[in-house]
Structure 1
Amino acid sequence: MHSQTNLIAVVLLAALVHEGSAIWCYRCTSATPGCGENFNWRGIGFLGEHCPEPNDICVKLIEQRGAQETITRDCLSALSFRKDIPADKYEGCRPAAHDEKLANYVNHTIKEHDVKRDYFTDTKFCFCFLDHRCNGASGLQVSALMGLLALATALLLR
């Protein structure tokens, strides 16, 4: 009985620590080895960074044009300069928002600047905030806290 009480205390402590601190996210682009679609955190050489905002969200941004794919993993606050972030930022992936007025008043012919953000034909934002470093996954991850709760429940019911 004493070990069950300790296990419950550890799970509750993990829940409090998880909510009290800023989230950790991977911050890299697919130009970095290990940061592409086949993500390998050992290849990028670090375990993520604290996001600057206390209620930040981890983001995996996928931009595609034909066979070319660019993946950016970062905190949402670091991508605040973008005007195509979807309004719905709950867990999951959604297409980028379209801004009709983006770059209407820019008049130059340097297409590499991509001021209208129309180079990529498919842009998708994947948001996650239930677990640290969750933007490394190809899909959504279940929170580590939920895994601990499931383990604790299984041990208690044994």
Structure 2
Amino acid sequence: MAGVGSCLLIICILSIAINHCSAIWCYRCTSATPGCAEKFNWRGIGYWGEQCPEDNDICVKVIERRGAQQTIIRDCLSALRGPRTDIPPDHYEGCRPAGKDVRLGHYVNNTIKELDVHRDYYNDVTFCFCFLDHRCNGADSLQYRSLLVPLTTIAIVLSLYKFTRL
């Protein structure tokens, strides 16, 4: 039983050290890039993702819809904070609708509608956040991704426990 405790301690220390030493890796592409649309294919993109610039960054998948048209953006949260004012304040794991900035474009008198200064072209904008796994913004269902780490840890602990009892 002492072997299981020491293995758990080593796993915890390694996970804390790895978690605080390096930033998360995320896919950074748009649906205009081959392989980055709804059916994600990392081989179509041609790279394994990029490291986010901040240590406590989060991977984001933005889904913008207007009728049948859909645009998907995969990036780090720190890269989207500057140009996007509709990021929801809640950055926990999962998907949620975009926030509304009522002051956006308030003092602009622009007659060119293609510029979209009020950012109201898309009817439905959804932000999906994930931070428990590297390159997690390529997943179709980000809600179930959060169960992967705890279930894997439980499986390792149970296998170590059974192995030490033999």
Q: TM-score, normalised by structure 2?
A: 0.85
Asked whether the equivalents of residues 61 and 123 of structure 1 are also in contact (C-alpha less than 8 Å), the reply is yes
Counterpart check, 1:20 vs 2:24: no
1:109 shift after superposition: 1.5
Cα 1:150–1:70 change in 2 (3 A) is same
Aligned to 1:99: 101
User: 2:88, 2:153 → 1: CA distance?
Assistant: 32
Q: Note the 1:4-153 alignment, pairs <5 A.
A: 8=8, 11-12=11-12, 13-80=14-81, 81-140=83-142, 141-142=145-146, 145-153=149-157
Work out the number of aligned pairs and report it: 158
User: CA RMSD for the aligned pairs?
Assistant: 2.2
Distance 1:100 1:5, change over 3 A: closer
Unaligned runs of 5+ in 2: none
Once the two structures are superposed, what CA deviation does each residue of 1:74-128 show, in whole Å capped at 9, x if it has no partner?
Answer: 0001001211111111111111111111101111111111110010000010111
Task: Give 1:139 deviation, angstroms.
Answer: 1.5
- Percent identical among aligned pairs is 59
Q: 4+ runs of 1 displaced by more than 2 Å?
A: 3-16, 142-148
One-letter amino acid of the structure 1 residue matched with residue 11 of structure 2: V
Contact 2:95 2:127 in 1 (8 A): yes
Q: Secondary structure at the match of 1:142?
A: helix
Distance in 2, Cα, partners of 1:107 & 1:138? 40
Q: Which moved more, 1:139-148 or 1:110-119?
A: 139-148
**Amino acid corresponding to residue 90 of structure 1 in structure 2:** Y
- Show CA shifts across 1:130-153 (max 9, x none): 111111111121365434412312
CA contact (8 A) 1:63 1:124 kept: yes
Q: Distance in 2 between matches of 1:148 and 1:7?
A: 15
Q: Distance in 2 between matches of 1:6 and 1:28?
A: 42
Q: Is the 8 A contact 1:131 1:143 kept in 2?
A: no
Asked whether the equivalents of residues 4 and 161 of structure 2 are also in contact (C-alpha less than 8 Å), the reply is no
TM value normalised by structure 1: 0.89
Contact 1:130 1:143 in 2 (8 A): no
Whether the 8 Å contact between 2:94 and 2:130 is mirrored in structure 1 is yes
Which blocks of at least 5 consecutive residues in structure 1 are unaligned?
A: none
